[in-house]
Chains A and B, each alone.
Chain A
Amino acid sequence: MSRSPGIGTQGSDVSQLEMPAPNRLKEIISQGTPYWFLSPWVIIYGIFGIFPLFFMVFLSFQDWNPSEGLGAMQYIGSTNYVKAFTDPLLYKSMWNTLTIALLSGVPQHLFAIPMAYILVQLGERARQWFTSAYFLPYITSTVAVSMIFFQMYQGNGIFNNVIVMFHDWSVTAPLFTWFDPDYPIQWVRANSVIQYSIALVVFWKYLGFNIVIYSAGMATISNDLYEAAKIDGANTYQRFTQIALPLLKPFIFFGVTMTIIGNMNLFDESYVLTNALKTATKDGMTISNYLFRIAWEDQQMGMAAAISWILFGVIAIFTAIYFYLFGREGLQEN
């Protein structure tokens, strides 16, 4: 491999012998070229990414209220870590995050895969129309849609009103005897239901994304395979489970990975639906919300930094396990 970083060859040896000085200078400049092109990343990521990350190690051993300026930092040893590890809310919010992830994530994929299968069978045009409808929530602001859901979840909101309608309608009334119109379901106020309310918004928002991924996956499966299976006597269901599903593995792996990553970061939905962490926070607060609350509402930046490192560790361990268990299998067919 040549030392020269440039594209192709940097002038022949003959020309270098003839005029060494200008070529040498040119080479030095051109050796720097790739770094010049990369300089935006190096500078911005250096400043906003790497430096503060290391500074956070330092910060996690300090007691600091950000509103009092940088001078107010005080070294307090490992107190922050001890405080974080002994805070039951840390574990509770981790558990909430996991529960909401399962409540929203599992149905997402269970719905998306068969729906993608049906959509691909429908043909290009119909598929395009339906996909556009299902995808719409994905492009809209999570905060704005959560505000709309927040209203729909109110005591006098549409969700309760629909239940009241079924409760009052004689045909369905026997099914709704458990419901008392004077005490509507407190979707966003009661700890007992808040996780379902958040999960529904998450499900609604990301279903379309998964459908697109799976339809693209389905589209890569050759029609000949289905035809061959048909001749061998496989019905639609068998063709789905025996041909489509196994060939979709890499896409399922990608989709599930994206869902897990997205859910670890879940912040907006739960933040808005708990009215900025004011109601039903016991079960509605995710780990991101918890971190935000410690840092900005309790103004304990040092402890928040310690929690960040703890989460770093937890996430790294789970990522490693996940990729160890599923990574090879998921990627091999890609």
Chain B
Amino acid sequence: MNIFDNALFQKSIYAFLKYGVLAFLILFAMTTIFPFVYSIVLSTHDQEGISSLGVSMGLGIDLVENYNELLQRTAFWTGITNSAIIAILGTVISIFFCSMCGYSLAVYKFKGRNVIFGIMLLSMMIPPVLSLIPYFLIVDMLGLMNTHFAVWVPFTIAPMGIFLVRQYVVASIPKDLLEAAKLDGAGEFRIYSTIVMPLLKPSLATLAIIQFVFLWNNFLQPLVILEGDKAVIITMIRSMQGTPDAPMGAIILGSFLSMLPLILVFVVSSKQMISGLTSGAVK
């Protein structure tokens, strides 16, 4: 009898494949997370410790020293505060602006709607780096150089966010409800703010996730607009890299701390964040 026809043999091959695949997935997940774990290791060593670390994953004793070095070389907490101001203000305002625009496009029929819709679509296709120079020019002309306002305002009308809200309004706000409110004498803005906004909550939560993650991590605009005490945390950390005898332990500690807020939020609500950030693709 052929060994390949043996049921036990087939079963064990199957089990071997199954656990092999599972082991691969786990190994791959560990590799993915490795840089984050390793950054914790690195941030506990001083310069000498890092260069003699080899493949060891042992923790050092210089965490406090690195932290002090970090504070000495950069205005770390100022940077964190600046990043937070930009991300929070930008997110909150964009919730209002995107929902207003999306609502308008979803509910009303008016002259120029298709033109506006088309321009929005086109503006999404322009790679951000190509609009960087015009953006820099206008910020310069308006005298908004080195202000946080210039960094978050252009993103409060993100077309992606507007479309997100529009889709949601079309799919889940009944027209009858709006008409009933209208018959009861509610003004257009009142209908939007007291009836529509609360119903939009799920899509606005998604929008908030997308906007906050984007604004917190955004590097290009702050790099060309902000400097000194106005700079965001990641441009501050990046500029430490360029200094001679750059203390890698302190830099890595700073990098890790700058990611920590988002990592913590992700650990708590990974499901919502994943579905939010891929909502353009996955409905």
Answer yes or no: A17 CB below 8 A from chain B CBs: no
Stretch at the interface among A27-35, A75-83, A84-92: A27-35
- Chain A residues, CB < 8 A from B108: 5-7, 33-34, 37
Interface of A is mostly: helix
Tally A residues with Cβ within 8 Å of B: 97
Answer yes or no: B67 CB below 8 A from chain A CBs: no
Contact of A144 among B175, B192, B259, B270 (CB under 8 A): B259
B278 engages A267 (CB within 8 Å): no
Answer yes or no: A55 CB below 8 A from chain B CBs: yes
A142 engages B123 (CB within 8 Å): no
- Chain A residues, CB < 8 A from B234: 141, 143-144
A34 engages B217 (CB within 8 Å): no
Answer yes or no: A254 CB below 8 A from chain B CBs: yes
- Which among A122, A147, A204 has the highest number of chain B CB atoms within 10 Å? A147
Contact of A138 among B107, B109, B259, B277 (CB under 8 A): B277
B281 engages A251 (CB within 8 Å): yes
- Chain B residues, CB < 8 A from A258: 281
Contact with B along A190-211 (1 / 0, CB 8 A): 0000000000000010011100
B35 engages A37 (CB within 8 Å): no
B258 engages A319 (CB within 8 Å): no
A118 engages B255 (CB within 8 Å): no
- Chain B residues, CB < 8 A from A147: 237-238, 241, 251-252, 255
A305 engages B133 (CB within 8 Å): yes
Answer yes or no: A56 CB below 8 A from chain B CBs: yes
| A222 CB, min distance to chain B CBs, angstroms | 17
Q: State in angstroms the CA–CA spacing of A118 and B238 once bound together.
A: 38
| A168 CB, min distance to chain B CBs, angstroms | 11
- Chain B residues, CB < 8 A from A204: 32, 35
| B113 CB, min distance to chain A CBs, angstroms | 7
- Which among B105, B133, B238 has the highest number of chain A CB atoms within 10 Å? B133
Complex interface residues of chain B between 108 and 153 (CB less than 8 A to chain A)? 108-110, 113, 116, 119-120, 123, 125-138, 140-142, 153
Contact of B274 among A131, A149, A295 (CB under 8 A): A131
- Chain B residues, CB < 8 A from A31: 110
Answer yes or no: B248 CB below 8 A from chain A CBs: yes
Answer yes or no: B80 CB below 8 A from chain A CBs: no
A162 engages B219 (CB within 8 Å): no
Complex interface residues of chain B between 235 and 281 (CB less than 8 A to chain A)? 235, 237-238, 241-242, 248, 251-252, 255-256, 258-259, 262-263, 266, 270-271, 273-274, 277-278, 281
Q: State in angstroms the CA–CA spacing of A276 and B241 once bound together.
A: 9
Answer yes or no: B200 CB below 8 A from chain A CBs: no
Q: Given A33-B188, A258-B281, A301-B133, decide whether A140 and B140 contact each other with a Cβ distance below 8 A.
A: no
Q: State in angstroms the CA–CA spacing of A255 and B281 once bound together.
A: 8
A139 engages B262 (CB within 8 Å): yes
B35 engages A148 (CB within 8 Å): yes
- Which among A33, A59, A213 has the highest number of chain B CB atoms within 10 Å? A33
A140 engages B262 (CB within 8 Å): yes
Contact of B156 among A42, A44, A139, A278 (CB under 8 A): A44
| A187 CB, min distance to chain B CBs, angstroms | 14
Complex interface residues of chain A between 13 and 70 (CB less than 8 A to chain B)? 30-31, 33-38, 40-42, 44-45, 47-53, 55-56, 59, 66, 70
Complex interface residues of chain A between 113 and 169 (CB less than 8 A to chain B)? 115, 118-119, 122, 128, 130-145, 147-152, 156, 158, 161-162, 164-165
Q: Given A138-B277, A213-B282, decide whether A53 and B131 contact each other with a Cβ distance below 8 A.
A: yes
A272 engages B241 (CB within 8 Å): yes
Q: State in angstroms the CA–CA spacing of A106 and B220 once bound together.
A: 26
Apart from A128-B271, A268-B219, 17 more pairs, CB < 8 Å: A7-B108, A7-B175, A30-B188, A31-B110, A48-B135, A132-B274, A141-B217, A141-B258, A147-B238, A147-B255, A156-B53, A161-B54, A162-B55, A261-B127, A287-B129, A291-B130, A291-B132
Chain A to chain B contacts (Cβ below 8 Å), 6 pairs: A35-B104, A37-B192, A40-B157, A53-B134, A137-B35, A288-B129
Shortest 5 CB-CB distances between A and B: which pairs?
Answer: A52-B134, A37-B104, A34-B108, A133-B29, A216-B282
Contact surface of B with A, Cβ cutoff 8 Å: 21, 25, 28-29, 32-33, 35-36, 38-39, 42, 50-55, 96-97, 100-101, 103-105, 107-110, 113, 116, 119-120, 123, 125-138, 140-142, 153-154, 156-157, 162, 175, 178-179, 182, 188-189, 192, 213, 216-217, 219-220, 224, 234-235, 237-238, 241-242, 248, 251-252, 255-256, 258-259, 262-263, 266, 270-271, 273-274, 277-278, 281-282
